[in-house]
Amino acid sequence: MLKLTLPYLIILAAFSAVMAIGGVLYLDQDEPESFSQGVELLKRNKHVLAKIGTYRSHTWKATELPNEADNPANFRVSILGSTAKIYLHCKVRKDERGNWRLLRIMQDSIKFQE
């Protein structure tokens, strides 16, 4: 019986390892530069910080990320702070000097922490 189950266990272990590596690679995809730079600008924006308190984290849906070549670029992001979570629709543009600028921040909604 052990001789029969050992090959199946080896195959199952190999399959699990491949799936785990694939999952890590899939989840570790790079964000477009426009999005990551836009989030950095939002984390320092005094109007955003006045609404959320201290920045804690941000989340996004992959379908709402801009393409790498988009300039200007539109994206949606939710930012969690110490007092609230805010949902934003933003537009950023890279200028001729290579600096990213926030062109527009539209608040979709805000949820205050309890």
68 HSE (CA, 13 A, CB side): 3
Burial class (CB in 10 A: 0-12, 13-18, 19+), 75: buried
Domain layout of the chain by residue ranges: 1-30, 33-112
Q: Span 70-76, mean pLDDT? A: 89
C-alpha–C-alpha distance, residues 79 and 54, integer Å: 10
**CATH 2.30.30 describes domain 33-112:** no
- Taking 90 as the threshold, does the pLDDT of residue 81 lie above it? yes
Residue 28 confidence (pLDDT): 45
Q: Say what the pLDDT of residue 26 is.
A: 52
Token pair recorded at residue 53: 């308190």
Residue 65 burial (CB < 10 Å; 0-12/13-18/19+)? buried
pTM of the full structure: 0.69
Position with higher pLDDT, 3 vs 80: 80
Task: Indicate whether 72 pLDDT > 50.
Answer: yes
